[in-house]
A and B are shown apart, each in its own frame.
Chain A
Amino acid sequence: MNYNKKTFCLFAGPIIVAFLMVLVIPLLIGVYYSFTEWNGRMDQVPDFIGLSNYIAIIKDEGFRNAFIFTAKFTVVSVIVINAIGFSLALLVTKKLKISNFMRTIFFMPNLIGGLILGFIWQFIFMGVFQTIGEITGWTFFQGWLADANTGFWGLVIIMVWQMSGYLMVIYIAALQNIPKSLLEAAEIDGANGWAKTRHIIFPMVAPAFTISMFLTLANSFKLFDQNLSLTNGGPGGSTEMLALNIYKTAYTFTNYGAAQAKAVVFFLLVASITMVQVYVNKKKEVEM
């Protein structure tokens, strides 16, 4: 069953036009502009300067720090969010009377946009933590967003609050797909809780693990809104992540050619890291 070209264009045409105009053309223009001294506008042809923007990236300390910070943040948040998301899924599938209530609560933060979420938590880290610090007398709670180290953990905490409920939903679906008979058979064979988890539950949820890792990895690496509203990269650029660094290079320092070169590097990083992750995870799935 095949349709002619006219029908094909009628059905696929509109969205292909939008896709080309919004994604493909800007991407190609962007790659070209990364080799120029671009001023952010399109009414004149900018000077071609070859690899200068890219060479400048290597020397750019701000970008390097942003990369290190982003990489660290991504590793930590992927591990923590997945561990908590999986634990929440185990908890709510235990058939407690409050299971449905818990599902509702754990998923709720996901609906709130990253920007608004960052503002809410800015108040918690500044106002509420301050209050707790005063009540308990622990200095641990003071000045969370005024320090690079605690700022890092602040970002991790808000990502965990936002995303672990989402992963919980994915893991619940995977856990419910495990055939009951398999677990019962293992019990008859005398497997204890840990043995069941390790030999049945983990392998059975491996595909969900691939997706959850992909989502957390991509989201953490590309994080922008939360970063902007929680710390705005401060203090002194110490919590600035890659996306925010690119944004500021363009709009604060009006260095569009350099920002676009960074954006191309960013694209290559995101694409290769996520592809490698999916490849590695998929391979593991087959082995199990």
Chain B
Amino acid sequence: MKSKQNSRILLYIVGVLTSILFISPFYILIVNAFKTKRELFGSTLTLPKEWMLDNFKVALNKLSFLWIGKNFSMEGFFGSALFNSMFITITSTILIIIFSSMAAWILVRTKSKVSNIVFYMFIAAMLVPFQAVMLPLVAFMGRLGLQNRLGIIFMYLGFGSSFSIFLYHGFIKSIPVSLEEAARIDGCGPWKVFWKIIFPTLKPIHVTVAILNTIWIWNDFLLPQLMINKKGTQTIPLKMYLFFGGYSKQWHLAMAGLLIAVIPIIIFYFFAQKHIIEGVTAGSEK
């Protein structure tokens, strides 16, 4: 019994040390975001002597984080990095949920050669790395005039389709057909059957699809870099990249900028934590 207790103490020590190791980058980010340029280089590990809020004022401005232009205005907000990131992420995710679940349902319920081929095409596409289509995509979308915020939402729909359809497909297979048959006998068409019966029963998988796509689209850098590199349409990672290039020698500003960029997703995490963990688990079970 004694050795069992000792091993528990050991586990606690290992646990605490590992936690400290994992959390330390956040600590470093926070304390250094509040330091003056001078203090930062003298001591990177200690708490700031004086908490500098000015760093954030400058960083917010340079990142166009909450507004674009000189002062805050509603119009300026619609060109801000936060708005662009939120608009693109939310709209894309909603469209992915609607169209992937529709497609997955009809693919499960239609037993034909075409439906099989279409399904395997979506699955096979998961093996295509973005770089393989990157250059022609830029040229093609440029030609169609889709290098803008709406265009990028359309592109996320295309890129998000494979994995999302795959997730819905697996879930829908387990829904008994009898559920739909009863409704059809009562005279419901496929449109009504899907929206009234199927779509609501897919709720757990909607959450998974929403979370996995939100994290991916929110953090995506390369596609926005190639598609929406115009002032007033840029997302947070893109703004961060430009900001960093210009201020890489001014670490106090850079750290404040990075901290601002990290905050929204951390808030999201603390609100949706349970669902995020469940979503990741469900998304990885094949």
A: residues with CB less than 8 A from B are 1-3, 7-8, 10-12, 14-16, 18-27, 29-30, 33, 40-43, 88, 91-92, 94, 96, 98-99, 101-116, 119-121, 123-124, 127-128, 130-132, 161, 165-166, 169-170, 172-173, 208, 211-212, 215, 222, 224-225, 228-229, 242-243, 246-247, 250, 256, 259-260, 263-264, 266-267, 270-271, 274-275
Contacts and interface: CB of A to CB of B under 8 A. Distances in A.
B40 A15 contact: no
Interface stretch (B50-58, B65-73, B74-82, B217-225): B217-225
Interface string B83-107: 0000000000000000110110111
B284 A170 contact: yes
Given A11-B105, A11-B194, 7 more contacts: A19-B122, A23-B125, A29-B139, A42-B143, A101-B19, A127-B41, A267-B131
Nearest to B111: A2
Nearest to A32: B136
A2 B127 CA distance: 30
Question: By CB atoms of chain A within 10 A, which of B41, B142, B215, B262 has the most?
Answer: B262
17 contacts: A10-B191, A12-B103, A12-B118, A19-B121, A22-B154, A25-B136, A96-B12, A98-B15, A107-B280, A112-B265, A113-B237, A114-B221, A115-B221, A115-B241, A123-B44, A123-B251, A263-B135
Top 9 closest A-B pairs, CB basis? A22-B158, A113-B219, A267-B132, A11-B106, A18-B158, A26-B133, A26-B136, A271-B127, A29-B136
Interface string B125-150: 10111111111111110110000000
Contact of B129 (A112, A131, A172, A243): A243
A26 B159 CA distance: 12
A12 B262 contact: no
Contacts of B265: 111-113
A78 B221 CA distance: 23
A179 B140 CA distance: 53
A108 B22 CA distance: 9
B188 interface: no
Nearest to A22: B158
A11 B190 contact: yes
Contacts of B221: 113-115, 225, 228
Contacts of A114: 219, 221
Contacts of B180: 1
Given A8-B115, A18-B154, A127-B41, A40 B135 contact: yes
Contacts of A172: 281
Given A123-B255, A260-B135, A274 B277 contact: no
Question: By CB atoms of chain B within 10 A, which of A24, A26, A263, A274 has the most?
Answer: A26
A30 B136 contact: yes
A23 B133 contact: yes
Given A161-B22, A266-B129, A256 B157 contact: no
A128 B41 CA distance: 9
Nearest to B281: A173
Contact of A23 (B128, B251, B277, B286): B128
B268 A111 contact: yes
Question: By CB atoms of chain A within 10 A, which of B130, B131, B220 has the most?
Answer: B131
B115 A127 contact: no
Nearest to B96: A15
B103 A11 contact: yes
Contact of A271 (B105, B128, B284): B128
Given A11-B105, A30-B135, A108 B269 contact: yes
B106 A12 contact: yes
Interface string B182-194: 0010000011001
Contacts of B22: 105-106, 108-109, 161, 165
Nearest to B137: A26
A123 B132 contact: no
